[in-house]
Amino acid sequence: MSETKAYDADSQMEEVFHHFVLEKKLINEDNPSIDIFNIDFFKARLESLKKAFPEDFFLHAMALKGNSFRGVLRIALESGFGGECASIPEALHALSVGFPKDKVVFDSPCKTKADIKTAIEAGIIMNLDNEHEAEMVDELLKNQCKDFQPNIIGMRINPVVGGGEHAILSTATKLSKFGVPLIEETKERIIGLYKSYKWMNGIHAHVGSQGIPIHLFANSVKVVMDFVKEIEAATGRKLTSIDIGGGLSSTYKDSEEPEAFAYRKYRDLLDEKTPELFSGKYKIITEFGRSLLLKAGKSLTRINYIKNWLPEFVKPICLTHLGTNQFIRAAYLPKTWSHRMSAIDGKTGKLKKSEDQITYDVAGPLCFQGDFLGHDVELPKLEKGDIIVVHDTGGYTMSMYSKYNSITPSAVYGYERMPNSEGENNGFIDDKLAVQCGLGAKFRIRCFKERETPEETLAFWGNAYPRIVN
């Protein structure tokens, strides 16, 4: 049993699907695809992380790049979390939602001087990527920003502990574009930065995400903690903050989170390898994303047509309204990023079940041949109007939407189970807010994002009459 159940067993999810498809009719001809987000499960993941690391000197900053919808961010905020931001617009987004400035962490690997100035003036936490960014900070603090007291400013260290299954997500090899590499030959150079810049009071390391073995995360923290001692001995001052990143893997193959990457297991490993991390001497920052978000989300899309012209050569092709527009990695790296799929009967709103399975290719709406959600997908016999359910889309799918072909993005809904007449919520995590809304409905649905109008989608493509630049 995983530390947080995914609540997507057929017996539990059928009620949810029936509610969205038949009772509320939120997926229809005008809205052929929707994204749904399990608020109860997300809250359970947030609580699971806090339970594993309950100390008040921990700041858990959820990675906004995983899912930036305001409705999702507000739940994280209300749970006491901060926000980890990969760009200045993300940082401003976090502030606008209500995250306190001392809980907003700005981590872009390529900052402009304007980005850095904005971060200093906003008073947010900032991790620098390299010595060039440190030079810009120093210049700003001496000139344009001399009246501002900077918050925590750290340097990102590449601990060079190795990579995982996916090179594109491994950030702690010698080939990494992130941070400054920490090896024996570079130690004095990095320490020199801390000696030169007395405002540099933090350190940051992050080894990657999906596919990274858990021991590499612990090894990275050990490398950083040992290096902190060297920095403090050389500079004669104590650092304020240690950012250990996030990145623990989830799974796209199973319905429940993998036990091998349980937050409690990670805590125990860190306790064993680096007990000084829990001394209370430092603010400790984490930056989890996928492991918090992934299994909270599902994407539903109607089957527009099923093409089966050449059955002796080609599997039946289901044409749907979701593809590379939202599942970029699944389209280009299908063996690495394949999502589980189920099917809902479009007439009854119930999950289709059958011992006899048919192998389909599930295609999207974009105008190029590689636009497939999945190949060789085994499902019960499907018909036009049935609905494909793509599982595990709460992180790094909804947030990776592409405007290519100007496909209209789906509406996004959060849902939570309402307590029953005895005050129980049928296996979902309790939500005190739900009690205030009465006990009449089985679910409460929140619209996180309306489906865009064509005009809103097309606004991305700029001015109808290009502005003259003098």
User: For the residues of 188-231, what is the DSSP string, one character each?
Assistant: HHHHHHHHH-TT--EEE---BSTT--HHHHHHHHHHHHHHHHHH
Residue environment code for 294-321, b if the CB has 16+ CB neighbours within 10 A, otherwise e: bbbbbbbbbbeeeeeeeeeeebbbbbbb
Note the pLDDT of residue 429. Answer: 36
pLDDT exceeds cutoff 50 at 438: no
> In whole angstroms, what is the distance from residue 271 CA to residue 277 CA?
8
Note the pLDDT of residue 166. Answer: 67
Q: What type of residue is 57?
A: F
Counting Cα atoms < 13 Å in the Cβ hemisphere of 382 gives 31
Q: Return the percentage of the chain with pLDDT > 90, whole number.
A: 76
The 8-class DSSP code of residue 129 comes to: -
pLDDT exceeds cutoff 50 at 435: no
pLDDT exceeds cutoff 80 at 57: yes
Look at residues 299, 345, 334, 301 and name the one whose alpha carbon lies nearest to residue 319: 301
Asked whether the CA dihedral 438, 441, 447, 450 is positive or negative, the reply is negative
Assign 425 a pLDDT band (cuts: 50, 70, 90). very low
Number of H helices, E strands in the chain: 13, 19
> In whole angstroms, what is the distance from residue 45 CA to residue 262 CA?
10
Which residues pair with residue 284 across a beta bridge?
58, 242
Whether 399 and 66 have beta carbons less than 8 Å apart is answered as yes
Phi, psi dihedral angles at 299 (to 5 degrees): -120, 130
The 8-class DSSP code of residue 452 comes to: P
Helix 214-235 with 187-196: angle, nearest 10 deg: 50
Note the pLDDT of residue 406. Answer: 96
Assign 430 a pLDDT band (cuts: 50, 70, 90). very low
Domains along the sequence of the chain with CATH? 10-36+295-450 (2.40.37.10), 108-286 (3.20.20.10)
pLDDT exceeds cutoff 70 at 400: yes
Average pLDDT for residues 380-404, to the nearest whole number? 95
> In whole angstroms, what is the distance from residue 254 CA to residue 260 CA?
13
What digits encode the pLDDT tens for the residues 151-160? 999 999 988 8
How many other CB atoms are found less than 10 A from the CB of residue 184?
A: 6
> Which residues contact residue 341 at a Cβ distance below 8 angstroms, ignoring those fewer than 6 apart?
362, 373, 374, 377, 379, 388, 389, 390, 391
What digits encode the pLDDT tens for the residues 274-313? 999 999 999 999 999 999 999 999 999 999 999 999 988 9
Note the pLDDT of residue 437. Answer: 32
Counting Cα atoms < 13 Å in the Cβ hemisphere of 265 gives 14
Look at residues 292, 293, 287 and name the one whose alpha carbon lies nearest to residue 217: 287
Average pLDDT for residues 435-446, to the nearest whole number? 57
> In whole angstroms, what is the distance from residue 10 CA to residue 354 CA?
13
> In whole angstroms, what is the distance from residue 161 CA to residue 183 CA?
10
Q: Return the percentage of the chain with pLDDT > 70, whole number.
A: 90
> In whole angstroms, what is the distance from residue 416 CA to residue 429 CA?
9
> In whole angstroms, what is the distance from residue 358 CA to residue 355 CA?
10
Look at residues 357, 362, 359 and name the one whose alpha carbon lies nearest to residue 380: 357
Whether 277 and 226 have beta carbons less than 8 Å apart is answered as no
- What Å distances lie between residue 35 and 25, 136, 236, CA to CA? 14, 41, 52
Is residue 432 classed as helix, strand or coil in its secondary structure?
helix
Whether 24 and 250 have beta carbons less than 8 Å apart is answered as no
Look at residues 388, 382, 379 and name the one whose alpha carbon lies nearest to residue 356: 379
Note the pLDDT of residue 323. Answer: 96
> Which residues contact residue 54 at a Cβ distance below 8 angstroms, ignoring those fewer than 6 apart?
none
> In whole angstroms, what is the distance from residue 310 CA to residue 332 CA?
25
Counting Cα atoms < 13 Å in the Cβ hemisphere of 370 gives 10
Note the pLDDT of residue 175. Answer: 79
Note the pLDDT of residue 6. Answer: 53
Q: Which of 22-31, 141-150, 260-269, 434-443 has the lowest mean pLDDT?
A: 434-443
How many other CB atoms are found less than 10 A from the CB of residue 183?
A: 11
pTM: 0.92
Average pLDDT for residues 219-226, to the nearest whole number? 93
What digits encode the pLDDT tens for the residues 300-355? 999 999 999 998 899 999 999 999 999 999 998 888 889 999 999 999 999 999 88
> In whole angstroms, what is the distance from residue 12 CA to residue 223 CA?
44
